[in-house]
Amino acid sequence: MTTRILPTDSPELFDIAVREAVNLLSAGEVVALPTETVYGLAADATNADAVAKIFEAKERPSFDPLIVHLPHRNDLGTVAEVPEDVVPVIDKLARQFWPGPLTFVLPKKECVPDIVTAGLPTVAVRVSRDPAFMRVVRALGRPLAAPSANRFGSISPTSASAVKAELDGRIPLILDAGGAHCGVESTIIKVTQEPGKPKPTILILRPGPVTREDLKLHGKVIVASESKDRPDVPGQLPSHYAPRTPLRLIENPEDFTPEPGKRYALLSYRGDPDDGYLELTDWAGIHILSPGKGKLPEAAVRLFFAMRQLDQLGVDEIIAEPVNDFGVGLAIMDRLRRASVKH
Ligand code: TXA
Ligand code: MG
C-alpha cells in the first residue's frame, strides 16, 4: 500500500485533506491525523473491523485499550456512563480542559466495541483541539478511536514525517498539520468520589500536558506511578516510548562513567555547563530540549523529536538528563523512565 501525505497549509488544501480523510474513515479505513499532543492513527470507533486495522498497522497487542475521541464535549454520554457522584467534577473538568489534552477513564456504554477497550468495562475518552482533527471527527459525526501513530512500544510521532517513518506502507493516508503543539500524550485520569469525603480523588494514570498542579484545584490528586499500592494501568508498560538505541536516564552526572571505545549521545535539558553533563565525555551528538533557562513545555514539544534524531546517530547509548518533576516535567520524566527500561 502507498502511504500518501496530504498538506493542510492553505484553506483549499485543508478542505481537500479533510474530505479525503473523512471518505477513507467512512469506508472503514485508518488515517493518521494530527492532534495537539502527538499524531494519532484513527478509525471509526463504532466499527470493530476498522479498529482491528489500527492494531494490525501498529502491531499493537490486543490487551492495550485505545482512546476514543469525541466530536464534541456534549457527546460524552454517547460512549460513557458517568457515575452520578462524579458528574459535577467531570463536568467542570470537561468544561475547563476540553477540547484539549485530558482523557477520562469512565464506565463504557454498550455501543463501544470490546476491541476498542481491550475487553475492559471502561473506556478512555477525550476531545482533541487540533483544528484538522476537529474538522474530520465532526464531519464524520462519529467517535474516532486513535492511539498514537507509532509501532507498538516505539516513540510517539510529533510530525507527519515521523508517522511515515513508523507506518509507511501500512496505512493509506497521513494528514500533515506540522509539528504537534504539546509533544507528549494526553493526561489520563480516573475520578472517584468516596461517600462522606469532601473532595473527589483524581488518579493520574498517565501524566501529560494537563498537570498535577492544574488538577489539584478539582480534587485530591494521586499519581499512579508514585502510589504505594501501584494501581494496575492497562497498556502502560514499563518499557515504552523507546528508541532502538539503548537510553539511560542519569539522575546525577557523577553516576556516569563512559566505557572506553563506546560512543554516546546526550539528551540535555538546558545545555547548561553548570548542570554538569556537557563535559562528561566527548559526545557523538547533543540535543538540547530547552536552551537557556529551561522551559518544561518547550522541552516536552521537542522530546520525542530529539529522541528520534539521536536514535539515527548509531551510537551505543543515549544518555538523558533529568528535568524537574513539576508541571509537564512529570510527563517528560515518565516518558524518559519508560524509554530507559530495557526491552
Ligand atoms: O494524546 C493522546 O492521548 C494520544 C492522541 C493520539 O490522542 N493517544 C494516545 O493513545 O496516547 P495510546 O494508545 O498511545 O495510549 C492510550 C493509553 C493506553 O495505552 C492505556 O494506558 C490508556 O490509554 N487507556 C485506554 N483505555 C483505557 C482504559 N479503559 N482504562 C485505563 N487506561 C486506558
Ligand atoms: Mg502510544
Compute the distance from residue 206 Cα to the ligand 1 centre, in Å. Answer: 9
| Distances, alpha carbon 64 to alpha carbons 204, 246, 251, 334, 341, in Å | 18, 24, 30, 18, 19
Compute the distance from residue 327 Cα to the ligand 2 centre, in Å. Answer: 21
Strand arrangement of the beta sheet that strand 122-126 belongs to: 4-7, 173-176, 31-33, 40-44, 144-145, 67-69, 122-126, 102-107, 187-192, 201-206, 220-223
Contacts 24+ apart (CB under 8 A), 195-202: 195/85, 200/86, 200/89, 202/89
- Residue-level pLDDT at 22: 98
37 lines ligand 1 (CB under 6 A): yes
132 lines ligand 1 (CB under 6 A): no
Three cell numbers written together for 133: 482533527
Per-residue pLDDT of the chain (343 residues; tens, 9 = 90+): 999 999 999 999 999 999 999 999 999 999 999 999 999 999 999 999 999 999 999 999 999 999 999 999 999 999 999 999 999 999 999 999 999 999 999 999 999 999 999 999 999 999 999 999 999 999 999 999 999 999 999 999 999 999 999 999 999 999 999 999 999 999 999 999 999 899 999 999 999 999 999 999 999 999 999 987 777 777 777 777 889 999 999 999 999 999 999 999 999 999 999 999 999 999 999 999 999 999 999 999 999 999 999 999 999 999 999 999 999 999 999 999 999 987 6
- Residue-level pLDDT at 65: 97
Q: Give me the torsion for CA of 333, 336, 342, 343, rounded to 10°.
A: 110
Q: Tell me, what amino acid is at 185?
A: E
Q: Give me the torsion for CA of 50, 208, 249, 289, rounded to 10°.
A: 100
Compute the distance from residue 297 Cα to the ligand 1 centre, in Å. Answer: 21
Q: Tell me, what amino acid is at 136?
A: V
Compute the distance from residue 273 Cα to the ligand 1 centre, in Å. Answer: 37
- Residue-level pLDDT at 235: 75
Instruction: Report which protein residue has its CA nearest ligand 1's atom 12.
Output: 147
Q: How far apart are CA 63 and CA 66, in angstroms?
A: 10
- Residue-level pLDDT at 80: 98
Position of cell 513508523?
Answer: 166
- Residue-level pLDDT at 239: 76
| Distances, alpha carbon 154 to alpha carbons 35, 131, 245, 272, 278, in Å | 18, 26, 11, 29, 27
- Residue-level pLDDT at 343: 62
231 by Cβ neighbours in 10 Å (0-12 / 13-18 / 19+) ranks as exposed
163 lines ligand 1 (CB under 6 A): no
Helices (H), the chain: 11-26, 48-58, 76-79, 87-97, 114-117, 131-140, 160-167, 212-216, 296-311, 329-339
Q: How far apart are CA 128 and CA 99, in angstroms?
A: 5
- Residue-level pLDDT at 166: 97
The atom of ligand 1 lying closest to the CA of 146 is 6
124 lines ligand 1 (CB under 6 A): yes
Contacts of 282 (CB under 8 A, 6+ apart): none
Residues with CB in 5 Å of ion ligand 2 = 148
Which of 67, 117, 205 most suits a substitution to test ligand 1, by most atoms within 8 Å of the C-beta? Answer: 67
The atom of ligand 1 lying closest to the CA of 185 is 1
Residues facing residue 124 across a β-bridge: 67, 105
The atom of ligand 1 lying closest to the CA of 150 is 14
- Residue-level pLDDT at 229: 76
The two counts, helices (H) then strands (E), for the chain are 10, 15
Residues facing residue 189 across a β-bridge: 104, 204
Closest CA to 208 of 198, 223, 220: 223
45 lines ligand 1 (CB under 6 A): no
93 lines ligand 1 (CB under 6 A): no
Compute the distance from residue 196 Cα to the ligand 2 centre, in Å. Answer: 37
If you ran DSSP here, which 8-state letter would residue 188 be given? E
78 lines ligand 1 (CB under 6 A): no
